[in-house]
Structure formats: structure tokens, C-alpha cells
A = this chain, B = another copy of it.
Amino acid sequence: MLASEVRALFAVASRPEIVSLAGGMPAVDALPLEAVASTMSDLVTKRGAVALQYGSAQGDPGLRARICDVMAMEGITDAHPDSVIVTVGSQQALDLLTRVFIDPGDVVLTEGPTYVTAINTFAAYQARVVHVAMDGDGLSPDALRETLGRLAAEGARVKLLYTVPTFQNPGGITLTQPRRAEILEACRRAGVLVVEDNPYGLLSFTGEPVRAMRADAPDDVVYLGSFSKTLAPGMRVGWALAPPPVTARLVLAAESAILSHSMLTQLAVERYLATQPWPEQLKEFREMYRERRDVMLDTLAETMPPGTTWTRPDGGFFVWLTVPGGVDTKAMLPRAIAARVAYVPGTGFYADGSGRNAMRLSYCYPPPERIRDGVQRLAKVLRAEIDLRQTFVPRHGSTTDE
């Protein structure tokens, strides 16, 4: 399932009668629109000649300083604004990194499952994506060491480990702190750069921010951040924090790719952070998403057929659901949509065709009562699918006896 297929699915899923548990859109309608509007208006009136002009390829220095303050909330206290590049969402940072580091055939290690558009970007540069197994504690260090050893024996050039360690998309899983140390150590030994993609880190439901991998390994990690989930994706403001020589290469690549980012949206984010109560807004988002997660987990527990399992995220947007009885989630999707509920089939999150027995469920966008309806509808479709298979399999078995 390509990213473009996922987008096509989202288009169908956006019909109002369908409860979409598919998209990863943040609930921007919870933002104080009047405050955002007056921030924009002030900015253009007072600093329009700067906000409407070209900027630098690295991004506005004032915004980069504020980004360093944001990262300090996750334990990154040594970041310098000169080491930050502002990008068109963190997606562009990922694209530029791939452009700079990957030659055709180079290996990128990722969790399995992983973020769908990252797979797409790696594929665009002809990287070979190799998944490393994960469990409820995140990426497995044993599996990572085994994979690194096997690839070294093959003579493969392993360049990057791409990981979403905190409230992972799509798994909803957080890598434990002891494992983080083990994984950093294994990558350091193998000369593999770690790309820590962390769009959800500040959306923790326990109140405690999760310490970033970058906080303990400034030379070995490129950190990708974003305001898309904590403020608004329509700004398209993300960033990378990297060791200085890497940042310099990313800036050159960005200049060739887009000349410069929008000063208007960069300064809008900078002004919003400077003048509005963003920490309170973040707290509201966390409480809203936690309530939605609770409704999803409660309804899953009440309705799902035996043998179905799912993750229990402590933050972020996603639950990963594994279905029993040989059900194929991609084949089931049209029936789910007919029953007015949508999800993303698990195969979208693997480069190797895995994930047929899984799906990603998002609780970020629909209000709680819609989440409940959606999960109930999904449970009904899944039960029918299991029944059908149980009826069909013995009958098929008996057919051979006739």
C-alpha cells in the first residue's frame, strides 16, 4: 500500500457519514482561532516587510532559538540555534537527510511497522528498507544487533536507523530508556546515524515528557521535530537538529530544493510561542487526546472478538490492532467502509508486505462519541469476517472430501 493509496483512502474516509479512524490529522479546531488570527494580523501589520520577504535557507534565527527552548522540555539542553534547520514539516527534513546520506542500494533500518511516508521517501532515493522487530517496549536491541551483524556479513552499507521512539506512529509504543541506551550504543559501534523522529513527544498522557534519545547522544543522533501536532500542520513548520557538519549539508540541500521556507509561517509560529499561552494549549491537547484514547481503549475492550490484541499508548495519536483468524485487513477494508468506518491496513506501514493481520487506528481527530461508534462498527465487521472465514474454511476442507 503506497502513501498515495493511503491518501486516496483518506479522501473516501473524509465523507461525513464515515467515522475515520484512518487519518493522523490533529484536532486543530481545538485551537484558539481568534488568538491565531490576531497573531497573524499583528505580525503582518508590524513586520510585514520581513514576513512577506524571502528568508534564509536555514530558517529564521528567532524561531530557531525558540525551537531550542521547546527541545529543552525533552532533556535536550545543549542545542544551539546554529545547529537547527527549519523545514517544511519534519517530512522535508527527512527528505533532505535521505538526499544527503543515501545512495541507491544503501540500507535504512526502521521499526516494523513504521511511518508510511518515511518508507516512501526512502524508496524515492532507492534505499533498501530493512525492518527491525519491535515489541511492547519498542525496537528490540537484540534484533537490531542481529540485523546489523547479518547486514555487515552481506557487505551492505547501512547508513541510517530511522526510529519514532516515543508514542510511535503507527504502533503507539514507546521505546524504554534502557533500550534507548542499548540501541544508541549498537548504532555507534556500527557507524550508523540515528534519526529520531519525534512529532508526538510533547503529547504525553502521564504528564511527564519522555527524554529524547538526542539528549544523551548529541553526536550520533539527528533529531526531527514538528509543530504539526502541537500547534498546526497548516503552518508546515518542522525542524532538524543535527551535528553542525550535517546541518550545513542540509541547509545547502534545502536551498536547492525550495530556496527558503515561508517567513510568514515561521514568524507566525515564533510570535504564537512568544505571545500566547502555548504550554496551557499543549495541556489541553494532551487532555483531549487522552480522553479520546480512553474511549478507544474502553470500547475496544468491550467489543472486540477474542484473539484480537492492541497496544495501549501513553501519548500520541495511534493504537495498533492485530486481528485473529487469518483475517486480511486490506481485503476487509471495503466492507468496513460500507459499514461506515475506516482505518489504515497494516501493510501500509511495512516495506516488505507484512502487516496483513494488523491495522492502525487513530483517535486524534474524531470526537469521543464518534470514536465509540467507529470502534463498535469495526468490531461488528471484524466479527462477521471471522465468522465468514470459520464457515468457509471447514466447508472448503470438506469440499476436498466430496
Contact = CB atoms under 8 A, between A and B. Distances in A.
Given A48-B36, A235-B264, A258 B92 contact: yes
Contact of A234 (B26, B51, B95): B51
A227 B257 CA distance: 17
Contacts of A121: 256-257
Contacts of A95: 256-258
Nearest to A31: B52
Nearest to A261: B236
Contact of A48 (B25, B31, B49, B264): B31
Contacts of A44: 33, 36-37, 40
A49 B28 contact: yes
A163 interface: no
Contacts of A45: 33-34, 37
B53 A234 contact: yes
Contacts of A262: 88, 234-236, 262, 265
A123 B255 CA distance: 12
Interface stretch (A54-62, A169-177, A393-401): A54-62
A329 interface: no
A43 B44 CA distance: 14
Q: Which of A45, A53, A234 has the most CB of B within 10 A?
A: A234
Contacts of A88: 88, 258, 261-262
B37 A257 contact: no
Contact of A52 (B41, B117, B234, B263): B234
A55 B51 CA distance: 22
Contacts of A52: 28, 31, 36, 232-235
A195 to B, nearest CB: 16
Number of copies: 2
A17 interface: no
Nearest to A124: B256
Given A38-B41, A44-B33, A57-B7, A234 B256 contact: no
A275 interface: no
Q: Which of A38, A54, A265 has the most CB of B within 10 A?
A: A54
A47 to B, nearest CB: 9
Given A37-B45, A52-B31, A264 B117 contact: no
Contact of A53 (B7, B28, B43): B28
B28 A257 contact: no
Interface of A: 3-4, 7, 25-26, 28-29, 31, 33-34, 36-38, 40-45, 48-57, 88-89, 91-92, 95, 99, 117, 120-121, 123-124, 228, 232-236, 252-253, 255-265, 268
Given A31-B52, A99-B124, 19 more contacts: A7-B57, A7-B255, A25-B53, A36-B44, A37-B41, A37-B43, A40-B41, A53-B232, A53-B234, A88-B261, A89-B260, A91-B259, A92-B258, A124-B253, A124-B256, A233-B260, A235-B262, A262-B262, A264-B268
